[in-house]
Structure 1
């Protein structure tokens, strides 16, 4: 059902999808607003006092963990940013590990110009924005100084669901510098260093630019994480290259869904 929105719904558009509380998915042009510290504080208090009691997926230990996260966020609200609010909400609502209770924040996150997928031997780049085609098919060894496995471990508390679902969705969340900064990956202001193992066996570090969501066709991880496997339509303006572009035959499972 749709409920009236508070600041953290209207202002920051941090949306929660759950059987009890659900709000509309933001449009593709949604951006982080310039919230005041007072609004951020009000949002956090609303989340704890009004939203949390309606979600029945918490056990007592998880509810206590949720309260600690929100209390810590409240304590530093005077210096918090809208980005902090998004990440605090992500962490708080992930505590019950209920995949049906998740903040729909993908369109609010900044983005690296690549899409990723986990395979049994690591995290790979399946698709890349124009200008970054040389990274296609590369395995990511490090984000900054942290390995892909270390980043998965650190981002897990921010993603709702089972271990399998967390691993799957992390491939999308780990393309956000906002998320990577929160989990301790240090990087320059407007670029991001990745250490890659290329298809030819060479290892090198590349700097990827960081952009707001609308520039790289950002997708909602909760809803579109699987889309990394599917190439964009040929002829599309600003089309992203894909590792399957050169495949002579492609399984129907890697095509756009039919009506």
Structure 2
């Protein structure tokens, strides 16, 4: 095996002469504004003295500036927005600033477009972090004094089942069902949002009914923590560093070796899972660089070093926990990769509900250029092939809340011919209809996640090796823990 330990390319500073030539050729990528927004830091908490007059002025800016710039509304959606805006304007007297922020989020969500959203201020949150798995809603992390809740399944939040609570907080979240589910977890631990959605009666405490890991069903009452929520949705799946101040207990703390997908956040990381046949696994959590070396150059360097001289049988591209960035970084990589696999080989793209924006576009471009060589595995992505993006932020003058508008159209399931289509989508988008649905659906359960098993990657490797799932699981565990020297590992490699 040429490489069985993972390499973070962001830590490799040397660039070949060929890469420097590439940099000059593709320099336009650095000149373009990001085609998709990077998830922002939370806005500052609105001043507690925000007056009704100031709120009305903010709502006027929302209606007269933001809504006029945002082109994602349908005519019916715009009518609903204008009606709701007028109603909210009459109800702000005595409204708490956090309730006002939630109202702004609700109004923006009427666009129905995942990119057109309000960036909420930091608010008090419950001392637990939740995530949706195929088998329900679970506590993945908790403050140390609530460590006994880690791993518990949520059975009720206040008056509602988790599914009912999801439906009610979805009023604050634009986008498709998968995206709303991903973005719901900060709202489900926000007492103010739960109160406003009619789920819990108070803005300071919330009653949870849980079934803990011993199987015991119990009710706990949690108080809001003044500390802002940790992580942006999916990042709650990653444990904090062991020496982090005020570190919270995490369900993965017991694992000696974590699955690659949950090691740490990265722009690009790769490793060989098999040397014969050659199977490369690469993952990315963002379509932009985390350092001064551009992501398109990192992808080019990896391609030159690992793929050009010896074609792999399969490449597994893991975009499951990638919310986007700038797809100019992946255009040429997506064109080239399907041509670099061996005859009869596959590009297996792992997707899920977090896969959004430029990550969805990258998956679409791989499908466009790979055709039958490309398979999607995992779950439905966090947006539809047709959506609105680009745009910019409008900051409301008194609350400081920022709301993103979207002003260019994308269609990554069909040729984009509408007048509002972004130029890059016209040029680099599909020339024929394609599907972005999973070819092979593989769910992620809490039981698998908690024990460090990656069912999606295991299924992909089994397909790449034409092997049974048990053997593929051994290879995944072995390669990622550098344990292929074990007898079981040797037997699996020999197959």
Distance 1:70 1:230 in 2: 38
1:90 aligns with 2:90: no
* Aligned partner of 1:37 among 47, 52, 67: 52
Matches within 5 A, 1:152-231: 152-188=166-202, 190-212=204-226, 215=227, 217-219=228-230, 224-231=232-239
Per the alignment, residue 326 of structure 2 pairs with none
What is the root-mean-square deviation in Å for CA atoms of aligned residues?
A: 2.3
Give TM-score scaled by structure 2 length.
Answer: 0.45
Per the alignment, residue 134 of structure 2 pairs with 120
Once the two structures are superposed, what CA deviation does each residue of 1:23-61 show, in whole Å capped at 9, x if it has no partner?
Answer: 97456xx32312011101111111111210110000111
- Residue 251 of structure 1 deviates from its aligned partner by 0.7
Distance 1:74 1:160 in 2: 21
Matches within 5 A, 1:72-91: 72-91=87-106
Conserved? CA contact 2:125–2:189, under 8 Å? yes
Q: Decide whether aligned partners of structure 1 residues 26 and 199 sit closer, same or farther in structure 2, where only a CA change above 3 A counts.
A: closer
- State the SS of the aligned residue for 2:129: strand
Distance 1:159 1:88 in 2: 11
Distance 1:165 1:101 in 2: 13
Q: Decide whether aligned partners of structure 1 residues 170 and 189 sit closer, same or farther in structure 2, where only a CA change above 3 A counts.
A: closer
- Residue 79 of structure 1 deviates from its aligned partner by 3.0
Distance 1:142 1:115 in 2: 15
Conserved? CA contact 2:140–2:250, under 8 Å? yes
Q: Decide whether aligned partners of structure 1 residues 20 and 243 sit closer, same or farther in structure 2, where only a CA change above 3 A counts.
A: closer
Once the two structures are superposed, what CA deviation does each residue of 1:62-121 show, in whole Å capped at 9, x if it has no partner?
Answer: 11111122111111122322122111111111112211111111x422201111110122
Conserved? CA contact 2:152–2:211, under 8 Å? yes
* Aligned partner of 1:255 among 259, 263, 282: 263
Distance 1:168 1:21 in 2: 17
Unaligned runs of 5+ in 1: 1-17
Distance 1:191 1:89 in 2: 23
- Residue 257 of structure 1 deviates from its aligned partner by 2.1
Distance 1:169 1:203 in 2: 27
- Residue 235 of structure 1 deviates from its aligned partner by 1.2
Distance 1:230 1:23 in 2: 17
Distance 1:121 1:75 in 2: 42
Distance 2:179 2:195 in 1: 22
Conserved? CA contact 2:144–2:249, under 8 Å? yes
Conserved? CA contact 1:123–1:171, under 8 Å? no
Q: Decide whether aligned partners of structure 1 residues 168 and 184 sit closer, same or farther in structure 2, where only a CA change above 3 A counts.
A: same
**Aligned residue pairs, count:** 233
- State the SS of the aligned residue for 2:221: strand
- Residue 189 of structure 1 deviates from its aligned partner by 5.4
Q: Decide whether aligned partners of structure 1 residues 205 and 177 sit closer, same or farther in structure 2, where only a CA change above 3 A counts.
A: same
- Residue 153 of structure 1 deviates from its aligned partner by 0.8
Q: Decide whether aligned partners of structure 1 residues 179 and 241 sit closer, same or farther in structure 2, where only a CA change above 3 A counts.
A: same
Per the alignment, residue 129 of structure 1 pairs with 143
Unaligned runs of 5+ in 2: 1-33, 267-289, 291-495
